[in-house]
Each structure stands twice: as C-alpha cells, then as structure tokens.
Homo-oligomer: A and B are copies of this chain.
C-alpha cells in the first residue's frame, strides 16, 4: 500500500538529503539504534561504521570546464558531486561507508528546460563527456554512476529543477508533467484538481516521473496495470539526434509504439523531459483486510485465484512468515496476505468479501478487523505500510553495523513460482552462509500479481565479512541470478537493469532485439555519451 502524501505536506522539503544513504539525513538511525539492530544479528560489528564525510573523499577539480553559456546551469561543488556519484543500492551505501564510492562526476548540471538539455547534450557530444541522467537518484542497480574510462569527463544531468505540472486536461483526465518532478511534488500539484497519478513505488518521495518512465517502474497497483508504462499518453524525449515527441493518444495501432522504445531505455537513448500522463480520480471507497495462512503454498494458490478473477484488488501482497514477522504483520509464523480495494465509482466491500471467500477456501483466516469504506488501515496492513517506508533507512543502519542487507526481485509465470521461491530460499541462503560463515535470513513477498504470474521480492539479511561486504553481496547475488535464469524469471520486474544487472539482462534479451537496440542507440546517440554501460556497451 502506498505512502499517501498527507494533504498538507509541502511540495518540496527543506530537509537535507543524505549524500551516501537513503532519504533524509535526519531520518537515519543514530548510533544507538544501529547498535540495537546489530545486536539482533549474530556476527555484526561491535560499533557502527562512522557516517562518511565528503571532505574525506578528496574530490579534485573537474576535468572539463563548461562554456560560459552553460556555466550557470552547472555546479562543481564537491558535496553536490558526491551526492550524484552513486545510487542507493546496498552496494552503493557500503562503498560510500568504506570510502570507495568510485568515480565522482566532474560536474552536476540542472537544466531549467528542454533547450538547456539539448545544449548540454550538444556540448557533451562535442567534448566526449559522458552524460548520466539523474532524477531522484534512487537507483538500486548502478543506474546513475559512471564506470569505465572511455570519456573525458562525466556530467550528472539532474532533472529536478524541471518539476512542474504544466497543463491539465480535466476532461480527458491527463496532465503534462515535467520529468524532474519527485512523487510528492507531482501529486501536490494534482491534488487541487481532485486527480492523482497514483504511482507509489517504495521510493515515491525520492524518485521522479522521468526516472519512473526511464526504468519502467512498478507502482501502486498490485494487480493489472502497475507498471508506469500503461499510464503514459505521450512522451517528450530530447536526444542528441533531435526531440522526439509522440502525440497524446488514448490508444493507437500506428506502427510499433514510439513511447515503448523510450520506456525502459534508462537514459541511453535520450533524456525524457516531460510526459502526458493518464490520471485518476482520488478513490472515495476503500476496504482492506489481512488474511493469515499457515501454509505458504496454499496462500500462493489463493493469491493466484484472486489475481485470475476480475476482482482487481489495488493491493494484494503476500508476505512469507519471515517477511510478516519483520514488518510486524504477524509474529506466529503465519504468512500474511494484505488485501486492499479502492474505487472512485462504487463501494468495494463486496469485492473484498468475495476475495476473502476465495482466500478462506484455501485455508486463510481473516482477523475480522477489516476496515470497510474507511481510510484507516487495519492493524496488520498499517504495520506493514509503516515498515515498508522505514525499511531503506533501517537497511542503512544495519549496513553501518557491517550487515549485508539487500533485496532482489523478479517475475515469473505461476507454473514456476513455487519452485522458484523454494530454490531461491535454499540456494541463496546456502550462498549467504558460505560467503560469511553466519546464519542468514531469506524472506519473500509477492509485490505484484498478474493473471499469468507474480513478482516475488526477496530480502537477504546476514552479517558480512568486515571490509568485504560488497564482495559478499556480489557472491550472493550471482547465485540468486543463476536460480532466476534457470527458471527464466526476469532479471528485474521493476528495479531496472542499470549496470549491476547487465550480465542477467544480456542473457535474457533476444539477440536480434539487442542488434536492433544497438542500432537505435547508434542512430540517436552517435557520440555514445548517454549513460554509457547501461543496457549496452
């Protein structure tokens, strides 16, 4: 369930963002909290790693100087550059904690409009400067850092100054929105019109529309149309070869979809600068409940049946016993299914009741604490939601205690789901123990479900090898990737490819499609400056 922004939340925040960890610096666990968490995990450090300081990175002068015409858009400030050096994966946080953040960009640019973007690309193309489009910087797949040495310099292109809802078509329920708008900034501008995009990834506060589009983000809805792709009416993309702007259309059969080429292109084909997005009315009717299962396999069957019905729950997330315990949704070893329905048209109590019937037929028991037609969530739902938003901060606290704590996600058809989950638990668990010598926890939840399959999301928690945390994680992830590949489960359902997922992506992608994508890239980015190393070499 989403982090509903409160009606009086400010559009932008004056709180300080952490350069090395998740979110706001003042929301990080303090040393005492870190120690308390570490005490629960055998083998962690005796005291937390210190919070890293930019001054210790020894950031030098930029390798290039922008021309005077662009100077006012560009910053060479070390704090700014450090905050754009990495995404927010566990391996990024640990590299920062260990003082090895990798290549720091030479410059950070903040264009105010499309012409600025085009001018910056022109200059970078002529100079051989790599350009890394940067939205909220929440990539967990190495999507916003430079690796390699084929370019003279690296420019991080921060889009967040382009954050306005420019135009609203209330009749067609759509809005033209600049790509640099963070989730709360965007929803705050739509709210007075009674409309919402209703795209609520876990990173909602710290990710942008452009980032969602470039990475095919998965959002609010647990069933059906959840990828942001389906909410795109048209897009505007500034490429080195010109501006691509598709028409606003509710549907079209005119050739391959232009938008679908740029959706998921992760900054390699152009810079998405704005999009017309399909909106919805804010829901007036809600109902939610949680269902406990003693048998995870039967819970999977229940979820599949609900996904294959036309009940269309907005939320339908299944937590395994470990995940349910971690989030406080259950402490008795049960799996928990969090169900939520919502509608702007009609009451949804009947749909919830039918879904609960299906769940009971597979051994589920509901706590009876359903909150029909109300905004308040029931206790298990509420517990899960709070934990969901707090999770990345806790991860960083555990990272300071030397723990290896990270997630990975995938999707597969239903026929493969039970064995896939079993084998991930067994083999990734064994890999974590082998790599560290410590007991390991592997939890699973289903974040999104479809009539034909589901998206399992795994959490790994184990004490690391001091100083070798990145290597430990890479070993564990390699084993996870092999299990996914064996089942032909996607290398990513909604975290994107970036640089970290390249090996799995290269195996998954059909070779003729790779040829076509390479050719498209060469046509649109002839100097090869756009996010080098992502998707393609």
Is A72's beta carbon under 8 Å from chain B? Answer: no
Copies of this chain in the oligomer: 2
Asked whether, in the complex, the Cβ of B265 is within 8 Å of the Cβ of A233, the reply is no
B-contact 0/1 string along A294-323, CB 8 Å cutoff? 000000000010001111100000000000
Best-surrounded residue of A173, A215, A248, A253 (most CB of chain B within 10 A): A253
Is A260's beta carbon under 8 Å from chain B? Answer: yes
Given the complex, which residues of B lie within 8 Å of A255, measured CB to CB? Answer: 264-266, 497, 505, 509, 517, 535
Is A290's beta carbon under 8 Å from chain B? Answer: no
Count how many chain A residues have C-beta atoms less than 8 Å from C-beta atoms of the other chain.
96
Asked whether, in the complex, the Cβ of B250 is within 8 Å of the Cβ of A450, the reply is yes
Asked whether, in the complex, the Cβ of A493 is within 8 Å of the Cβ of B252, the reply is yes
Q: How far is the CA of A322 from the CA of B510 in the complex (A)?
A: 49
| Cβ-neighbour of A515 out of B173, B237, B523 (below 8 A) | B523
Stretch of A9-17, A343-351, A425-433 lying at the B interface:
A343-351
Q: Chain B nearest CB: distance from A351 CB in Å?
A: 9
Across the interface, name the chain B residue whose C-beta is closest to A487: B247
B-contact 0/1 string along A61-97, CB 8 Å cutoff? 0000000000000000000000000000000000000
Given the complex, which residues of B lie within 8 Å of A253, measured CB to CB? Answer: 215-218, 227, 264, 490, 492-496
Given A253-B495, A255-B266, A309-B345, A516 contacting B523 (CB threshold 8 A):
yes
Asked whether, in the complex, the Cβ of A237 is within 8 Å of the Cβ of B512, the reply is yes
| Cβ-neighbour of A260 out of B256, B455, B524 (below 8 A) | B256
B-contact 0/1 string along A233-265, CB 8 Å cutoff? 100010101111111111111111110111111
Is A488's beta carbon under 8 Å from chain B? Answer: yes
Q: How far is the CA of A253 from the CA of B172 in the complex (A)?
A: 27
Is A122's beta carbon under 8 Å from chain B? Answer: no
Q: How far is the CA of A519 from the CA of B518 in the complex (A)?
A: 9
Q: Chain B nearest CB: distance from A80 CB in Å?
A: 29
Is A499's beta carbon under 8 Å from chain B? Answer: no
Asked whether, in the complex, the Cβ of B415 is within 8 Å of the Cβ of A510, the reply is no
Across the interface, name the chain B residue whose C-beta is closest to A278: B452
Asked whether, in the complex, the Cβ of B311 is within 8 Å of the Cβ of A345, the reply is yes
Q: Chain B nearest CB: distance from A243 CB in Å?
A: 7
Q: Chain B nearest CB: distance from A448 CB in Å?
A: 7
Q: How far is the CA of A173 from the CA of B215 in the complex (A)?
A: 28
Given the complex, which residues of B lie within 8 Å of A227, measured CB to CB? Answer: 251, 253
Stretch of A42-50, A406-414, A466-474 lying at the B interface:
A406-414
Across the interface, name the chain B residue whose C-beta is closest to A342: B310
Asked whether, in the complex, the Cβ of A278 is within 8 Å of the Cβ of B510, the reply is no
Across the interface, name the chain B residue whose C-beta is closest to A507: B247
B-contact 0/1 string along A468-507, CB 8 Å cutoff? 0000000000000000000011111111110001000100
Is A386's beta carbon under 8 Å from chain B? Answer: no
Within 8 A of B (CB), among A15-70: none
Given the complex, which residues of B lie within 8 Å of A493, measured CB to CB? Answer: 251-253
Q: Chain B nearest CB: distance from A481 CB in Å?
A: 12
Selected A-B contacts with CB under 8 Å, 5 pairs: A171-B415, A174-B452, A239-B512, A250-B452, A520-B520
Contacts A173-B451, A227-B251, A246-B513 aside, 16 further interface pairs with beta carbons under 8 A come to A172-B415, A172-B452, A229-B257, A249-B412, A249-B453, A250-B413, A250-B451, A251-B448, A253-B490, A254-B508, A255-B264, A256-B260, A257-B263, A260-B261, A309-B345, A345-B354
Closest 9 CB pairs of A and B: A250-B453, A516-B520, A260-B260, A519-B519, A250-B450, A244-B512, A244-B510, A519-B523, A258-B513
Q: A residues engaging B (CB < 8 A)? A: 169, 171-174, 215-218, 226-227, 229, 233, 237, 239, 241-258, 260-266, 269-270, 278, 280-281, 304, 308-312, 343-346, 354, 411-415, 448, 450-455, 488-497, 501, 505, 508-513, 515-520, 522-524, 535
